[in-house]
Amino acid sequence: MNRLLAAKGLLRRNVSGGLALAVAAGLVGTIFGLGATGQAPEVVDGDAWLWSSTEGEVARVNSSSGGVDLRQPVADSQGHRVRVTQDDQFVFLHDLDTGRVTSVDLARMGFSGSLGIGTRDDVVAALSGGVAALVNRTTGLIRAVDPTTLQALGAPLQLPAPLVGGAAFDTSNTLWVGLPSQGTVVGLRITGGSVSVASTVPVAPPGHDLAVSALDSGVLAVDRGGTAIVAVVGDRVHRSTSPIPLTGALVPERTVGTLVAVTVPQAEAVVTVQDVDKNGPVGRLPLPKSDDAAPAVPFAGRVYVPDAQTHTVRVFGADGRPVGSITVPDADGPLELEVREQHLFVNAPDSSSASIVDQHGGVQVVEKHPLPPASPAPSGSAGADPANQSSAPPSTPPATPSGPAPPTAKTLPTPALTPDEPGPEDEPAPAPSAPPATPQPPGAPVPVTALAGDGAVSLTWGRAASGGAPVQQYTVVWTGGSRTVDGDTLSTVVTGLSNGTTYRFRVTARNRYGEGPPALSGPVTPVTGPPPAAPGRPSATADRNVVTVSWPAVADAREYVVTPRRAGVAGADPVQRVTGTTTEFAGLSLGKTYTFTVTAVDSAGRAGPASPASNEVVPRDAPTVVISGTTATATSVTVKLSVNTGGSPTTCHLTLTPSGKSADGCTTTTFTGLSGKTTYTVKVVATNALGSASASAKRTTSQTAWPGRVTCVDKPTNPNPRYCVKNGGIGVFTSPRYVEDGSHHRLKPGARINVVCRATGTKMYAYVYNKNKESNIWLKMNDGYWISWVWATLDNGDKVSAVPKCA
């Protein structure tokens, strides 16, 4: 234990990146060694977990070093939108596309709980100091949950719907929600698993829309129906007046410090209040025009404004003066800003990059996963002297050694659970280098349900996502033993255990690419005595997308374990543990056939036999549709859809105005042949037998062309003094790929070009002929031909990132 605490102390100090990674790697093995007893201390609290959609993995980033020391694929969430909620003890991964919430226990470093909450309602998870809640903002239902298992605790609290806020606690573990219908904010406390109202404060006229952000010690409420900005701090209420109407205002879920920022997209402005707990001065900042604006985030006396169009963050002082900008390399899609551990994390979930900002404004760039190795240059051309090439520009020279390779981040390891010995260090496991078809180990088989018997424990677990190949086997490990079952088996009974001794179990899945991360059970204690009886046959009813299960009570039952069985087989959906005789399942797969079984557990923890299976039900619903992203070039708009069919055959129809164009299909759609610098509105309508849903978004096409010139300089000192004009100049091609002697035609140095978009292709090297410029970016000109960027200079200061990517 002392050795672990010493390692933890080292990691908290401002050490170099290499040392931080080395210490973290050793620390992980030690924590896993303590996992069986559950006595490990808190894991490093200077970290943040960041999501990468394209890789389908979550990475742990150290705020001091800027390095990634743990990287874990989440096999069944690749390409999905995932909301990460974290404190120093747990991480919640909320897959917004499937409605599945998974808990990671940081003390034991394993996946410990899973819960399906569906995608129909707006539900957020809040987490702080080992206390957690699920807030259904659509229905107004708030329920405390065990952060380890995600199982419900106590009775839920019903508030008048809809709610706003509720995704973050303040530092006193008060959870704040807004009630627009009442014009109030409510502070909630969770004690002993029960949710109660601790305070209610009027902030706006009843019926006014609200926006809510948790403060360090209180809450910020914004009256979207007026101009009031209200801070509730302790027992005091501070009111400020915005210089502009606050219609549609946005605020971050959590605001750290006394500077607050209110983003008003319609007014293209950010309203700030300094020293909000003292009614400080009110200011106004410019906001980039955007169809999908995100809230500005205050941090350390500055305001950080994400710009979705350029994938940058503009930075302003508290006095409103611009102080710079932050560029996340290769960022694509939205930017997520979160203040944590005295740093601001800027994550680009759709790319491999992120940035960390410290309290002094210093920025570190984070590579969340390794970049794939550079493609080799065309045969015979790498590093060649341009003077010896008859007709083509030079391409990439050999790489120059730049020192030792950086440390490799590790995936969650799985050493044996031996309480008194540290676990072995895990070997480096490379993260996937390409999306969807990347071979990788399976996911975690969560949740693991452990039910006590006489000298025995009955275990069941969820079917692990297969990763890159079918699951071949599951391994169950506990203090004093282990066993392996085949990949189609999702349960086992462990016998020969000591009554009165508490056990924990870890289950991992393996395929031909390796062993996946561990899923952890809760503590379970075998006990002597007769088990409770099996409940009578449950009854299941489906009301659209919600299934209600009820059953007869069993004498002496303390709780019941309800198991969904999709097509008669358990494991595809999380179980529920409840104290009553009825429960609801909202996150089941629509259109699938389900039955349910119920097992009674008595006050001593003994589990009885399962009930007979219930009747069959099929949850269905009207469709939902979200435009999850739009991109544009000078002549096209691409629309990315996220459609939940509701379990019934669904059709989608898209229209684009003012072009008059339309399309059918529930997938990503691109409209072409459009005009530059024009705002288009896309509307999509999804329809099935139970109803329809629609969504719309606006996107402005970029300017028609970016002017520039061909750049190549001949000098007497060059190896070939007439290289640039030899054979007519610089070659242009029919695609962004260099083909020796394959140029379509040539352009002389200084020739004017008009660029419409950019793409990646063959990496090129301009050598001394253009300041040793080197890049794999190619520019598509308005005549349809391509030129390498190394042979061009754009009139906008050569900012190639301003040129849109080709559709």
Domain span(s) for CATH 2.130.10.10 in the chain: 239-361
The band of 422, judged by pLDDT with boundaries at 50, 70 and 90, is very low
Under 8 Å between Cβ of 261 and 271? yes
List, as own/partner pairs, every contact residues 11-16 make where C-beta atoms lie below 8 angstroms and the sequence separation is at least 24, other chains included. 11/44, 11/46, 11/62, 12/44, 12/45, 12/46, 13/64, 14/64, 15/64, 15/65, 16/65
Class of the CATH domain delimited by 624-700: mainly beta
| Residue-averaged pLDDT of the chain | 84
The Cβ-side half-sphere exposure at 259, using a 13 Å CA radius, reads 19
Question: pLDDT tens digit string along 245-281?
Answer: 999 999 999 999 999 999 999 999 999 999 998 889 9
pTM of the model: 0.71
Among the residue ranges 248-252, 429-433, 450-454, the one predicted with the least confidence is 429-433
Question: pLDDT tens digit string along 7-64?
Answer: 222 222 222 232 222 223 332 332 232 232 233 333 345 689 999 998 889 999 988 8
Asked if the 239-361 domain carries CATH number 2.130.10.10, the reply is: yes
Return the pLDDT at 46.
67
For residue 292, pLDDT over 50 is answered with: yes
Arch. (CATH architecture) of 438-528: Sandwich (2.60)
Distance CA 218, CA 236 (A): 10
Among the residue ranges 160-164, 185-189, 500-504, 761-765, the one predicted with the least confidence is 761-765
Asked if the 530-619 domain carries CATH number 2.60.40.10, the reply is: yes
Under 8 Å between Cβ of 158 and 140? yes
Return the pLDDT at 438.
61
Q: How far is CA 629 from CA 413, 599, 679, in A?
A: 35, 44, 15
Identify the CA nearest to 376 among candidates 396, 348, 346. Answer: 396
Return the pLDDT at 370.
58
Here the tokens at position 274 are: 């300094």
Domain span(s) for CATH 2.60.40.10 in the chain: 438-528, 530-619, 624-700
Look up residue 416 and give its amino acid: A
Largest CA distance in the chain: 98
